[in-house]
Amino acid sequence: MAPHLELEEELVSVFRSVLRTAGFVGGPMVEEFEREFAQFCEAEYCVGVGNGTDALRFALIAAGIQKGDTVVTVPNTFIATTEAISQTGGRPDFVDVEERTYNMDAWKLHEYFETQCCLDRGTGKLLNRKTGSRVAGIVPVHLYGQMADMDPILELAERYKLLVIEDACQAHGASYFSRRENRWKKAGSMGVAAAFSFYPGKNLGACGEAGAVTTNDPMLARKVRMLRDHGQLQKYRHEIEGYNGRLDAIQAGILQAKLKCLPRWNQKRRTNARRYGELFRSQAGRIILPFESHRTKSVYHLYVIRVKNRDYLQAHLAQANITTQVHYPTPLHLQKAYATLGYKEGDFPVTEKAAEEILSLPMYPQLEHCQQKRIVQEVISSLAAETVGTRNRNLIPATASEGRAD
Ligand SMILES: Cc1ncc(COP(=O)(O)O)c(C=O)c1O
């Protein structure tokens, strides 16, 4: 049963109670949810906003990213990450991801600063050598539910005086063992601010659009509150120009109800991931399974495997009525939208290779053992059919037609 249906009665009663008070935007439900989500993330403040893209954009602006600033992120993410940077007036720049986690490679980030940037002696600011623009921030994306390696990223940020804004849109409840602090830290508690999306398919999903910014900085939280509401904290007193990016009460009430289930749902996702691992054990070497570092606890927003002939497997699974997706088929640096940034194929080889081979298998808390067994059987039979097809193809005389049924 889908998470929304599991709580149908409770969610409908949220709608009824908001209908009766007619307090559709803001109000006590939004404030209560903000308190509870801040607590869940082990952050001081949470500000509810319209969606995850708003959350990123407001967090970047409130943290101090300015027009012309370069903000470094990864090419293997949803375009909202870079849209938010551009819409803040910044310029997105990329570093490649780690081979095993698909998250920002801290070593490559280090290399980027060393080889592509220089310090302005006068101002002490870090500049991108090619564009001359100030490098002002880093947006690590906690992709697929697993946190990026935050310790070295934060160390680099401190060294170069950069802002770190976490894109935690896929990582509600994920955690990371910080060697610097010698304790587990939650997604949303490590950067100057973090952005969450509550798009319906997320681990914590609304019944519509919603998002939130978390932070430990009271001034940053204050600024995000203004930004989401036309620059005002008091009606018609506009301290700055802002946006219409508020969280509505119905979504807040729904999120509040679902937040209570989130630890259990995340645990179920982890159990499902472990089960996939066991079911795929015989396929070691043919399928690369998700890698969870001992320093992270992933909440498996997605379960992403990697195979050589991904498109063949995806088509096979579709025929068996198993829906899969690719997150993401075209890396951002190769998207038409970013042609002006001047990147080319080969610039981020780890991301580019992964984009050809990754496949997100069904993953949600209510996924049952028998469903997983069937999915795994279909994956295995697809790989076997492909191997037989390849073998047969090798036996076919050169005159035989291409594209046999394999
Ligand atoms: C990594 C990442 N960043 C940002 C977003 C944007 O969130 P929203 O769709 O709520 O605007 C998403 C949503 O899919 C995401 O996955």
- Residue whose CB lies within 8 A of the most ligand 1 atoms, among 86, 139, 170, 228, for a mutation test: 170
| Integer Cα distance of 46 and 196 in angstroms | 10
- Can you tell me which atom of ligand 1 is nearest the CA of 197? 10
- Per the CB < 8 A criterion, the answer to whether 166 and 191 are in contact is yes
The pLDDT value recorded for residue 4 is 75
Q: How many angstroms is it from 325 CA to the middle of ligand 1?
A: 16
The protein residue with its alpha carbon nearest to ligand 1, atom 12, reads 169
| Integer Cα distance of 90 and 175 in angstroms | 29
Decide: helix, strand or coil at residue 46.
strand
Q: How many angstroms is it from 211 CA to the middle of ligand 1?
A: 9
The pLDDT value recorded for residue 390 is 64
- Which DSSP letter does residue 333 get? G
pTM for the structure as a whole: 0.95
Is residue 399's pLDDT more than 50?
A: no
CB-defined site of ligand 1, < 6 Å: 51-53, 77-78, 80-81, 141, 167, 169-170, 197, 199, 211
Sign of the CA dihedral with 1 first, then 372, 314, and 284 last:
positive
Mean pLDDT of 46-59: 98
Q: How many angstroms is it from 179 CA to the middle of ligand 1?
A: 28
pLDDT (tens digit, 9 = 90+) per residue, 182-239? 999 999 999 999 999 999 999 999 999 999 999 999 999 999 999 999 999 999 999 9
**For a pLDDT cut of 70, what percent of the chain falls above it?**
95
- Average pLDDT across the chain, whole number: 94
Mean pLDDT of 227-255: 97
The protein residue with its alpha carbon nearest to ligand 1, atom 4, reads 80
The protein residue with its alpha carbon nearest to ligand 1, atom 9, reads 52
Q: How many angstroms is it from 379 CA to the middle of ligand 1?
A: 28
Q: How many angstroms is it from 51 CA to the middle of ligand 1?
A: 8
Confidence label for 1 from pLDDT (cuts 50, 70 and 90): low
- Per the CB < 8 A criterion, the answer to whether 332 and 316 are in contact is no
Q: How many angstroms is it from 19 CA to the middle of ligand 1?
A: 28
| Integer Cα distance of 404 and 249 in angstroms | 56
Mean pLDDT of 296-320: 97
